[in-house]
Copies of this chain bind each other. A is one copy, B any other.
Amino acid sequence: MTKVHLDISMSLDGFVTGSNEGVEKPLGDDDGRLHDWMFDSRTDADAQVLAETYERTGAVLMGRRMFEVGVTPWRDPPPFHNLPVFILTHEPRAKMPMRGGTVYTFVTAGIEAGLQQARAAAGRKDVGIWGGANVARQYLNAGLLDEMQIQLIPVLLGGGVRLLDDLTPNQIELKRTRTIETPAATHLRFSVAKRVGTLSRAPK
């Protein structure tokens, strides 16, 4: 069955984007250190974690802000291995087919509608929520995530955008299912369970 997984790199002090983020500097100050496990510091184990993520993913969901600051540096063709990418936004916008097969689709009907479209596109594969923090938190708080993979990076950014903030934790129970340590990251995987008390009240 299709799972919904969050995949994101986070500093030890909890930031997924450094300070002074913007179009000029998509990940803010110190962005290099958060993602270095995919680039200069990549080991075979890091490469394996990344390859697994692409392999399991049938569609990508992301927030408008991540798209806006990312679309230019991602270039064309973008680095999404031709996966369909759904962007949650409030402003309707026409699909953007890119070279190489990636299509950016804009969804204005909210996180559940976005997930429904992504699920349909993913087929038997999983839906990957790849950021940013705001969208990730919305799915986490809504109890719609099945799994989180947090690449914990041994740096202190001291500022920026926190991932695990403004949570309603009574709805969230985690179970750590895997830890892989590499020089540049601790790849922590969790399954996300909902508390029984919350589930029974959920308007399903």
A residues lining the B interface (CB < 8 Å): 12-14, 150, 152, 154-159, 162, 164-165, 167-170, 172-176, 179, 181, 183, 186, 188, 190
Contact = CB atoms under 8 A, between A and B. Distances in A.
Contact of A181 (B12, B13, B165, B179): B179
* Chain A to chain B: the 3 pairs with minimum beta-carbon distance, closest first: A158-B169, A13-B164, A156-B169
A13 B12 contact: no
Nearest to A166: B158
A13 B156 contact: no
26 contacts: A12-B150, A12-B174, A12-B188, A12-B190, A13-B165, A13-B167, A13-B169, A152-B152, A154-B175, A154-B188, A154-B190, A155-B169, A155-B173, A155-B174, A156-B164, A158-B167, A158-B168, A158-B170, A159-B169, A176-B181, A176-B183, A176-B186, A179-B179, A179-B181, A186-B186, A186-B188
Contact of A156 (B155, B162, B174): B174
